[in-house]
């Protein structure tokens, strides 16, 4: 098993801002519906989690 700690949302935002980036947009995809999970590896996230919590967040940023 892999043990790792995910950064909090505020850790990500604060790191971007403190290193001189301006956040222009944040896209949080919708959770995955179970019918689209067929044949998908769930080694990292159980299907129950992916149905509720998106696995990614996309940031559009630019350097000041």
Is residue 22 one of the residues assigned to a domain? no
Is residue 21 one of the residues assigned to a domain? no
Is residue 40 one of the residues assigned to a domain? yes
At residue 18, does pLDDT exceed 90? yes
Give the chain's domain count: 1
Is residue 3 one of the residues assigned to a domain? no
Measured distance CA(59)–CA(4) in Å, rounded: 22
Nearest to 54 by CA among 33, 38, 40: 33
Domain hosting residue 34, numbered range: 27-64
Is residue 62 one of the residues assigned to a domain? yes
Name the pLDDT band for 9 (thresholds 50, 70, 90): confident
Is 10 in contact with 57 (CB distance < 8 Å)? no
Name the pLDDT band for 26 (thresholds 50, 70, 90): very high
Name the pLDDT band for 44 (thresholds 50, 70, 90): low
Instruction: Work out the average pLDDT over 17-40.
Output: 80
What pLDDT shows up at residue 6? 75
Is residue 4 one of the residues assigned to a domain? no
């Amino acid at each position: 098993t892999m043990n790792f700690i995910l950064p909090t949302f505020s850790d990500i935002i604060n790191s971007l801002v403190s290193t001189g980036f301006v956040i222009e947009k944040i896209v949080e995809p919708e959770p995955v519906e179970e019918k689209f999970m067929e044949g998908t590896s769930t080694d990292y996230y159980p299907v129950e989690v992916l149905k509720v919590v998106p696995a990614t967040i996309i940031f559009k940023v630019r350097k000041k």
